Structure 1
Amino acid sequence: MKTKSSIFSNLTTQILIAMLVGVFLGIIIHNNCSEDAAKEFSGYIKMLATIFIRLVQMIISPLVFTTLVVGIAKLGDIKAVGRIGGKALGWFFTASFISLLIGMFWVNVLQPGVGLNLSDIDLNTASEVTEKTQNFSAQNFVEHIIPKSIVEAMATNEILQIVIFSIFFGLAAASIGDHAKPVVNALDKTSHIVLKMVNYVMKFAPIGVFGAIAGVFAVRDFGDLALTYAKFFGSFLVGITSLWVVLLLVGYVFLKSKMSKLLKHIVSPLIIAFGTTSSEAVFPKLTEELERFGIKDKIVSFMLPLGYSFNLDGSMMYMTFASIFIAQAYGIDLSTGTQMTMLLVLMLTSKGIAGVPRASLVVVAATCGMFKIPVEGIALILPIDHFCDMFRSATNVLGNALATSVVGKWEKEDESKIF
């Protein structure tokens, strides 16, 4: 029988308590302090979340590089890398397409943007996002994917660029064979040291979640937000719930009874991602939990970095939903053909956005610009975006955990047939 102390020492329980205390404190500050005082409090309390996320970001680059290189080297040959990579990309693009379709379906069925009053919208709030879209082009997109310096990529935590370099490095190490073993072994030991650091960093998770939640509720009147954006947020929740149902059903189809065990392992990462609105913040913890679940370390270290670059299901669903919502708000009728074209554009332009602040909004704004939808319309969703981001981030974590687990199961079955 568990004692009270053991229950409250559980990380998940601590995070849930931190979220509730954060909401309670934020509401008290909002209701009893002046607007300026609440903003000042929010700025200071959010530093707790910033410290936690920075601690995580500190170990993201070395963890992605070491685990991915070791994972590829352990796979042994280019044929194995190609086989698993093919399964991974097939899953990622299928999941992304389904996520985009779900967003497109619900925004057309529920039409949350139709009849919206635009007179009270402050368009100046969108300037931070719209400025980032001015240099958004195919050339810049390619330059963003391919690193010109691995040091620069690591310094800025550009996950996709680190993944590209690590794949080349890992393939080269695998092709050399025994001569590369000392380097691979050193990187393997380094990855275990970094994963040990994860245990230390995760102790700060409840404090980070508390700061993030308290900071938001101190400056936002959630009652007014919920009333003003009830239709948009409600429609979004219908869409994201549908996506969860699809993901869980697919999980049960492939993993069967093990799906329940997987969910127990990823509860903490899901809640941390939800509270901090950062799927990147749980990358190290998710790596650890998936290995505990029983997925081989070489599969986890190969799949997760790829997933964070190519498999952001929650963000994908939100992108079509938000883009078409803005068009509806401005009375712009988009044909089914145009919407499908938008969907394909989002499939390509959204890759490699993990870890980029407000990346979903930047991609939505850029897509609106391509389809002659007023980019300033991004201001419509800014006030509620933080709460949408909580659900997007948690969904991204679920999607990547599921993809890694299913591909890991396939590989185990293939190996049992061979041996």
Structure 2
Amino acid sequence: MSVRRDRTHWLYLAVIVAVVAGIVVGLVAPAFAKELKPLGTAFIALIKMMISPVIFCSIVIGVGSARKAATVGRIGGLALVYFLAMSTIALAIGLVVGNVLHPGAGLHLTDAARAAGGKAAAGASEGTVDFLLDIIPTSLFSSLTSGSVLQTLLIALLVGFALPSLGKSGAAILRGVEHVQRLVFRILAMVMWAAPVGAFGAIAAVVGAGGWLALVSLLQIMVGFYVTCVIFVFLVLGPVLYAVSRINIFSLLRYLSREFLLILSTSSSDIALPRLIAKMQHLGVSRSAAGLSVSTGYSFNLDGTAIYLTMASLFIANALGRPMAIGEQIALLAFMIIASKGAAGVSGAGLATLAGGLQAHRPDLVDGVGLIVGIDRFMSEARALTNFAGNAVATIVIGRWTGNLDPDRAALVLSGDLPFDERTMLDEPEPAKAEEAVPAMSG
């Protein structure tokens, strides 16, 4: 086992080296660096192709093994309540910081920025009704190929609830899904060895396209946004996590450090979704709680996106000389939270959500979206990191509330006494757990 850990240790050191090399190449040879973007795009695509199978297997096994359907419903209900509460707090913090800093005051909208804002609005997110209808896949199997997290979640829940009623046949299918899950995680572990190449291409392309000089005039909102995200993680999520589970936020962030590194290098939290499910299960959160909380959280628990939408809206309003009153701010941002569902994990989706929300609620501000197009990619880093941290904390908190967290195992894992197996991403005792689930499905 020590050999395996040493190998993955070198892998993530290689990612760090690749990020630094990408920055250097982006600054020294920007034209060449921009041509490296397909490397990052290809790596993210490799990870995304694994997301639906991971979610499907995790949810089917977790729900299919649950002895009572009410347990799953309780987890889902508490998760949605928690997500709403955290999003509201994130909005409030963003509003406070935004009104203190008054970002954007003094800037002027150029024709180029106006054109960029119109382009972003053209790709704006869909309405709430369309979003709800899109949860239903075209067919039972298309949910596994569409790339939609919520479509996969819906089908996995239906399959998981149907399996117990099949008795012994359902138990056999469940064991088959467990074998498929092992295969999926093994493939994912293999794909991760391409991370240094993907990180190098992604970072080089961003630095080559934007450079550093373009960021100076917009530094205020970037710093303000990053500071707000840090405040939210350590002064909101940290106390909540400790109060509920007695887990220190720093210990959790250290446990998830490799996932944060991957997100930082690619600007997409999607890339760490399969690993978060595996690591939460290894931490001691049950399969059903980990699968449901992480999967739904990626569409409904968008703490970083909420902060971004708040500060970006205030920035644009101030820059255009059309500041919003407090009541108007609350109405606009409440609307945006509804419109933002499903935007997590996709680099650049926050910009389209911002444009869509402004277009529907304050169309006179849409052109101002072009003011932040140049730095959106850099703000996307903090969005993705905050969303990921929020979902990790949410999974533990919900697991603790519903009795689906083993605190003793969590202590062993976070202390380093029970390391995560990077090669399989699954715990070895899993087949025995599968056998224990069979009696619940017979009779």
Q: Please give the TM-score of this superposition, normalised by the length of structure 2.
A: 0.84
Once the two structures are aligned, what percentage of the paired residues are identical? 31
Post-superposition offset of 1:165: 2.1
What do the CA deviations read for 1:87-118 (whole angstroms, capped 9, x no partner)?
Answer: 21122111111112222221111110222222
1:14-413 alignment to 2 at 5 Å? Answer: 14-30=14-30, 38=31, 41-119=32-110, 121-133=112-124, 136-222=126-212, 224-245=213-234, 246-257=236-247, 259-372=249-362, 373-412=364-403
Which amino acid in structure 1 is aligned with residue 181 of structure 2? S
**Residue 415 of structure 2 aligns with which residue?**
none
Q: 1:137 and 1:260 mapped to 2: Cα distance? A: 38
Tell me if the contact between 1:121 and 1:380 (Cα under 8 Å) persists in the aligned partners: no
Change (3 A) 1:159 1:267: same
**Residue 34 of structure 1 aligns with which residue?**
none
SS in 1 for 2:285: coil
What do the CA deviations read for 1:380-405 (whole angstroms, capped 9, x no partner)?
Answer: 11100111001111111111111112
Post-superposition offset of 1:53: 0.7
Tell me if the contact between 1:99 and 1:316 (Cα under 8 Å) persists in the aligned partners: yes
Structure 1: any 5+ residue segments left out of the alignment? 31-37
Tell me if the contact between 2:56 and 2:153 (Cα under 8 Å) persists in the aligned partners: yes
Post-superposition offset of 1:302: 2.4
**Residue 434 of structure 2 aligns with which residue?**
none
Q: 1:77 and 1:292 mapped to 2: Cα distance? A: 23
Q: 1:359 and 1:270 mapped to 2: Cα distance? A: 19
Q: 2:152 and 2:8 mapped to 1: Cα distance? A: 38
Which amino acid in structure 2 is aligned with residue 231 of structure 1? Q
Which amino acid in structure 2 is aligned with residue 12 of structure 1? Y
Tell me if the contact between 1:77 and 1:171 (Cα under 8 Å) persists in the aligned partners: no
Q: 2:394 and 2:336 mapped to 1: Cα distance? A: 20
Post-superposition offset of 1:176: 4.2
Post-superposition offset of 1:344: 2.0
Q: 1:294 and 1:273 mapped to 2: Cα distance? A: 23
Post-superposition offset of 1:148: 3.1
Q: 1:266 and 1:414 mapped to 2: Cα distance? A: 17
Compare 195-204 and 118-127 and name the one that shifted more.
118-127
Q: 1:338 and 1:147 mapped to 2: Cα distance? A: 36
Q: Which runs of 4+ in 1 moved over 6 A?
A: 413-416
Q: 1:411 and 1:206 mapped to 2: Cα distance? A: 39
Change (3 A) 1:269 1:333: same
Q: 1:382 and 1:388 mapped to 2: Cα distance? A: 10
**Residue 428 of structure 2 aligns with which residue?**
none
SS in 2 for 1:115: coil
Q: 1:178 and 1:347 mapped to 2: Cα distance? A: 44
Q: 1:398 and 1:404 mapped to 2: Cα distance? A: 10
Structure 2: any 5+ residue segments left out of the alignment? 408-443
SS in 1 for 2:35: helix
Post-superposition offset of 1:178: 4.1
**Residue 33 of structure 1 aligns with which residue?**
none
SS in 1 for 2:403: helix
What do the CA deviations read for 1:316-353 (whole angstroms, capped 9, x no partner)?
Answer: 21112212221222222322222222232123221222
Tell me if the contact between 2:286 and 2:404 (Cα under 8 Å) persists in the aligned partners: no
Q: What root-mean-square deviation, in Å, do the aligned CA atoms of Structure 1 and Structure 2 show?
A: 2.5
Number of equivalent positions: 403
Tell me if the contact between 2:263 and 2:269 (Cα under 8 Å) persists in the aligned partners: yes
